Amino acid sequence: MKRFLGRGTERLTSLAAAEPGAEATGLEVLRWALAASVARVVDNSRNVTLDADAEVVHQSRVGTRRFRSTLRTFRGLFDPAWADGLRARIKPLADDLGAVRDADVMSARLTAHLDAVDDDVSAAIAARLEARRRESRTRLMTVLASPSYAAIVADVSDAAMLPHVMPGAAADAAAASLMPYVAAAWRRLHDAVTGLADEAAPESLHRVRILTKRARYAAETLAPVTGRSAERFARRAASLQDVLGELQDATSARAWLATAFESSDPAPMAFGSGILAGLELAAADRAREEWPAAWRRLRRKKATRWLADPWAATNNDVVVFLVRHAKAGDRTRWTQADEIRPLTGSGLRQASGLVELLSHAPIAHVASSPYTRCMQTVEPLAAARKLPITPEGALAEGAPVDASVALLDVSEPTVLCTHGDVAENVIGYLAHRNVPGAEPSLCEKGSTWVLWMSGSDVRRADYLPPQA
């Protein structure tokens, strides 16, 4: 930790405090967001003690969550292996902080209701809550004092100060390069809520809470650039997150009460824990009644219209979406013609994710390799847009790169679905011509390259990883 008590911390804090302006590039905004997250972790973690305010732990945990969320939401703008490695690197610390935060919340919730039970039961429950809280804090303090924590902080701090971004993020304005990812986070949340049953299970609503948090963090990342629109959305998302958080906390408290007391415990203890469980059930029911109203406020056009057209082309550009087909069955195990090898279950989910990703993209034409796995990849998207799919031999496996590249010369927004070799050849061709962002090693199955066309030339290439 010594490294971060001097110049390292000062530099990180300075970067975190320098909120980007409206003209900032994607790189500048992402660097600020990462630095602010790490600074929050470092500044608060150094104050963790057995009796420190719960907010200290909470803010440290929020820092790890924001750091991982930024890397996840904007993964297509980072070097994917670099981003994934950092998310995994900080996860153990996030888990340790989460355990303490959960214990703090549980203790605060149940302690507030202990006057509802008799004194002996109250004292016994309070003792168990305090033991859990102190145990988790002691474990966290051991972690924070270890060389491994200092190494994690060193790694994520270095990463925040010099993030590995794609060239498009480094060169282009943040509003253009980041907006599609913020909009995608919103669409994932919207679709999750739309698909819920009237009486959704707590697990489903917890998932909605997670997606709400990610959409909120994404909006807050872009807020310095877009201003009040993103701030309004983030406030309403925070309100929904709070209501769903109350539901989750009440559900967790009931679950703890159900397991914390053995059948051998005295009857008064069981009776007392039952009273507390009833209070938590009532709290959960109130939250269940309140969250739909919070959701309606969030999805109003006033809060979401700024996300409506994230793919709006600039400078008279036309957008081409070059899609590599989703996951298909193992080629070596397929006994029939390779041309009819279909998508797997996970591949079909990736195809559905493409519909979500491009839900607001302007698309006038869809073309695909005639191979089954490519056609299946864009069938849900074409069906959603009521567009036919044009089979195109220049997108088939082994097609000459010149023929494939010629398909980019279009006059209207187009989706082209192809194979890994063709996608790599096309992006390699663009990289050879110094197109910003073109990196042929980034062609995962189910991924999409967004090619911004200026006439017959590609002005910029943005990589979007698979959505499932």
What are the pLDDT digits (tens) for 242-290? 999 999 999 999 988 887 766 556 777 778 888 899 999 999 999 999 9
Query: CA nearest 125: which of 279, 234, 19, 247?
Result: 279
How close are the terminal C-alpha atoms of the chain, in Å? 38
CB 180 within 8 A of CB 311: yes
What pLDDT score does 1 carry?
A: 38
pLDDT at 3: 40
Please write the tens of the pLDDT for every residue from 109-134. Answer: 999 989 888 888 888 889 989 999 99
Report yes or no: 94 and 68 within 8 Å, Cβ to Cβ. Answer: yes
pLDDT at 392 over 80: yes
Q: pLDDT per residue over 23-80, tens digit each?
A: 898 899 999 999 999 999 999 999 999 989 999 999 999 999 999 999 999 887 888 7
pLDDT band with cut points at 50, 70 and 90 for residue 94: very high
pLDDT surpasses 80 at 376: yes
For the chain, the domains span: 1-159+166-172, 183-307, 318-464
The DSSP element (H or E) to which 269 belongs, if any, is helix 267-299
Query: CATH assignment of 1-159+166-172?
Result: 1.40.20.10
**What ranges make up the beta strands (E) of 300-406?**
318-324, 365-368, 389-391
pLDDT-wise least confident of 94-108, 181-195, 336-350: 181-195
Rounded percentage of the chain residues whose pLDDT exceeds 70: 94
Segment 400-442, tens digit of pLDDT: 999 999 999 999 999 999 999 999 999 999 999 988 878 888 8
Query: 353 vs 344, which has greater pLDDT?
Result: 344
Q: Is the pLDDT of residue 4 over 50?
A: no
Amino acid residing at 257: L
Per-residue model confidence (pLDDT) at position 260: 72
pLDDT at 378 over 80: yes
The model's pTM: 0.77
**173-208 pLDDT tens trace:** 888 788 888 988 898 898 889 878 767 888 899 999
pLDDT at 5: 39
The single-letter code of the amino acid at 76 is G
Domain 318-464 has CATH 1.10.1040.10: no
Tell me the pLDDT tens digit for each residue of 300-318: 989 998 887 676 655 567 8
Q: How many CB atoms lie within 10 A of CB 398?
A: 8
The pLDDT tens digits for 208-222 are 999 999 999 999 999
Does the pLDDT of residue 2 top 50, yes or no? Answer: no
